Chain A
């Protein structure tokens, strides 16, 4: 006879209410799992999609994703000349917030050499890659642009020629792929007013120095042109048979730049930008799980106290301890499993509506279920201890 089920049947309303309450907590635990996985996935997605053999960045910087890195574009010619390098391609990654199609949107601009293809979008869901040097864009679907749509960005109008849904910036923002010169212009070219101001400042400083007449200063104004020929990284594809470590060392020695392989970039992200938020999320979901276990323990303990006289009667009529232990533990496990199921149903039906990626994995779901059931067993211990301590004489009103 299954005593646990029969007891639950008697208190079905309360059991269901408790299951829904704890189920909501489990939904949060599972969502935290998904947020954690989504956070890591998004944090690494650009690295994984780009996936060059080597990332060449500014000296002593862990860039270009974990930290800012900036150096002149021409370095990619020098990198190309290093033995063992088959191809070196300039690369820009830059988060911005701009007005697009009448709305202010946060996104990350990826600028790449559209003719070598390195650093560009991998799998398009619609359209084609960028094939012209200017005024074409490939947009992430989350940006809300349609294929063929024209939009104004900076000084020019761009056309969406392709759509992708692969990858986001480490902050979860959608990507906008542009050709390298377009990206450089959008990011680093100041507007006309700022250019005029800079030229005026340069002119005045020349004249005030006393070494130049106003006419001579006018001639030098062209030297103050804004330099947009900067990149955040150079992506390297190795020649067949070349050793990444050796090539990286040559680049470090000769070009005074830092070099990382893709696994090293991932490691840098894990230890850097992702580390603390990751720990925070881990701690938060651990605490939530503990809260669930404590609540289940309290509920089970209360349920045990309510039937303590019945337990005494069972002992009096000769029920062995295992029957009583099973009654309490089974209730605890049922409460845990049903609550988990409610939480699972809630999160699996809502995660797509969350503002950032919630990545639910069967592995995480199973691990959480395992931990929850282990927690359910632990939660029942207090009730079991109380039940086993109950003297059978309690059934007769004796203590």
Chain B
């Protein structure tokens, strides 16, 4: 199985001097294609910080990140176009869905394809395909405000998958949903990982949602442990 993500000795410190807070203390993590990885931990344990560092939204303080065989970050060195990496290789799913409110469901999914420069008809076909895959195609022309939370989250997942990323980072994707809709979203994530060989790292508080995940990591005080 191909390694999609490899994190070595990742550190992140907020602030400096006496006020410095070490959020990540030497994280090592390896994720293969199609892996379903859950990150559990209490608030403030560094889960979201880890996701932000992996996607280089936050600059790590030290360590090395390798994504899809390419070095993304190596102790302060970064030679890649991070935006391009995020556009083509990483998909994001948020707790708050974060759909663009003035775009319809279809347009939200079209946006990354448009940014990628995909031909219009091809992009449209792909976006509709993804909405159908997420079983939300009948709402394609609805604005987010007219959709339920679960529907919005499915559109968000479709958007995250639009550019066929190698890695999907999901930050509390079921946090704002009731358990039935949450379960459905998790089923979708599992489906993506199994059928598309996309690696999924999912941050969650709710242990009921991670049934069937391949690896469960627990983060505590900035350190990661594989849950056996």
Please give me the residue from chain B that is nearest to A5 by CB atom: B102
A1 near B102 with CB under 8 A, answer: no
* Cβ-defined partner of A316 (8 Å) among B86, B96, B101, B107: B86
Which of B85, B88, B102 has the largest count of A CB atoms less than 10 A from its CB? B102
Q: How many residues of A contact B (CB 8 A)?
A: 26
Residues on the B chain within 8 Å of A313, using CB? 98-100
The verdict on A395 contacting B83 (CB below 8 Å), with A6-B107, A316-B92, A320-B115 known, is no
- Interface 0/1 of A317-343, CB less than 8 Å to B: 111100100000000000000000000
Asked whether any CB of chain B lies closer than 8 Å to the CB of A116, the reply is: no
B101 near A319 with CB under 8 A, answer: no
Please give me the residue from chain B that is nearest to A9 by CB atom: B102
B96 near A317 with CB under 8 A, answer: no
Q: How many residues of B contact A (CB 8 A)?
A: 31
- Chain B 81-133 residues near chain A, CB threshold 8 A: 83-88, 92, 94-96, 98-103, 107, 110-112, 114-115
Measured CB to CB, the closest approach of chain A to B124, in angstroms, equals 11
Asked whether any CB of chain B lies closer than 8 Å to the CB of A392, the reply is: yes
Which of A11, A307, A313 has the largest count of B CB atoms less than 10 A from its CB? A313
Measured CB to CB, the closest approach of chain B to A328, in angstroms, equals 13
A318 near B110 with CB under 8 A, answer: no
Measured CB to CB, the closest approach of chain B to A317, in angstroms, equals 5
Asked whether any CB of chain B lies closer than 8 Å to the CB of A76, the reply is: no
A318 near B102 with CB under 8 A, answer: no
Residues on the A chain within 8 Å of B88, using CB? 318
The verdict on A1 contacting B107 (CB below 8 Å), with A317-B87, A318-B84, A318-B115 known, is yes
A318 near B87 with CB under 8 A, answer: yes
Asked whether any CB of chain B lies closer than 8 Å to the CB of A194, the reply is: no
A320 near B83 with CB under 8 A, answer: yes
Measured CB to CB, the closest approach of chain B to A58, in angstroms, equals 71
Residues on the A chain within 8 Å of B48, using CB? 396, 398
The verdict on A396 contacting B103 (CB below 8 Å), with A317-B111, A317-B112, A318-B84 known, is no
Measured CB to CB, the closest approach of chain B to A20, in angstroms, equals 21
Please give me the residue from chain B that is nearest to A323 by CB atom: B115
- Interface 0/1 of A286-311, CB less than 8 Å to B: 00000000000000000000010110
Which of A6, A320, A396 has the largest count of B CB atoms less than 10 A from its CB? A396
Instruction: Report the separation of the CA atoms of residues A304 and B178 in the bound assembly, to the nearest whole angstrom.
Output: 32
The verdict on A396 contacting B171 (CB below 8 Å), with A6-B102, A318-B115 known, is yes
Which of A10, A307, A317, A395 has the largest count of B CB atoms less than 10 A from its CB? A317
Asked whether any CB of chain A lies closer than 8 Å to the CB of B21, the reply is: no
The verdict on A316 contacting B57 (CB below 8 Å), with A1-B111, A395-B98, A396-B171 known, is yes
The verdict on A1 contacting B143 (CB below 8 Å), with A6-B103, A314-B100, A396-B94 known, is no
B107 near A317 with CB under 8 A, answer: no
A318 near B52 with CB under 8 A, answer: no
Asked whether any CB of chain B lies closer than 8 Å to the CB of A155, the reply is: no
Residues on the B chain within 8 Å of A391, using CB? 57
Asked whether any CB of chain B lies closer than 8 Å to the CB of A397, the reply is: yes
The verdict on A395 contacting B100 (CB below 8 Å), with A10-B143, A319-B115 known, is no
- Interface 0/1 of A1-22, CB less than 8 Å to B: 1010011011100000000000
Asked whether any CB of chain B lies closer than 8 Å to the CB of A393, the reply is: yes
Asked whether any CB of chain A lies closer than 8 Å to the CB of B12, the reply is: no
Residues on the B chain within 8 Å of A314, using CB? 100, 111
Asked whether any CB of chain A lies closer than 8 Å to the CB of B58, the reply is: yes
Please give me the residue from chain B that is nearest to A316 by CB atom: B92
Instruction: Report the separation of the CA atoms of residues A1 and B171 in the bound assembly, to the nearest whole angstrom.
Output: 27
* Cβ-defined partner of B57 (8 Å) among A11, A307, A310, A392: A392
Instruction: Report the separation of the CA atoms of residues A10 and B104 in the bound assembly, to the nearest whole angstrom.
Output: 10
Instruction: Report the separation of the CA atoms of residues A323 and B112 in the bound assembly, to the nearest whole angstrom.
Output: 12
Known: A313-B98, A398-B57. 8 other contacts (CB 8 A): A3-B103, A7-B102, A315-B83, A316-B86, A317-B159, A318-B84, A391-B57, A398-B48
Write the residues of chain B forming the contact surface with A, with a CB cutoff of 8 angstroms: 48, 51-52, 55, 57-58, 83-88, 92, 94-96, 98-103, 107, 110-112, 114-115, 143, 159, 171
| Cβ contacts A to B, 7 pairs, < 8 Å | A10-B102, A313-B98, A314-B111, A396-B48, A397-B96, A398-B52, A398-B58
